[in-house]
Amino acid sequence: MAIRALNESEIAAELKKTPLWKREGKEIVRLFQLPGFKESIAFVNAVAKEADRADHHPDILIQYSKVTLRLSTHDCDGLSTRDFALAAVADELAAR
């Protein structure tokens, strides 16, 4: 089954559910502030495990205690429900 890109109203509705994420073109982006490098790496490893499980992988930038995640769905050249589902998982992991 092909992955469908969300339309503008669907994206707006999903962004309301994930208010810490910002849209940048065909991506959603969030900067996570962690206590230190060790915690950043642990967070990235937890996100990676969930991303592998979902077969949907973010772009990740680690800057000591800051981790930036960027999500988009290349298969539909835009944003899909998969992006927002993984964003919600990352938010949960960061809250732990």
d(CA 84, CA 18) in angstroms, rounded, equals 7
Q: How open is the CA angle 49-72-22, to the nearest 5 degrees?
A: 100
Measuring CA to CA, which residue among 90, 82, 87 is closest to residue 46? 90
Q: Supply the CATH number for residue 82's domain.
A: 3.30.1360.20
pLDDT confidence of residue 1: 62
Single pTM value for the model:
0.95
Task: Give the mean pLDDT of the chain.
Answer: 96
- Looking at the chain, the whole-number percentage of residues with pLDDT higher than 70 is 99
Query: Is 14 inside a domain boundary?
Result: yes
Asked if residue 36 belongs to a domain, the reply is: yes
CA–CA separation, 13 and 18 (whole Å):
9
**Does residue 1 sit within a domain?**
no
For residue 79, what are the domain limits?
8-95
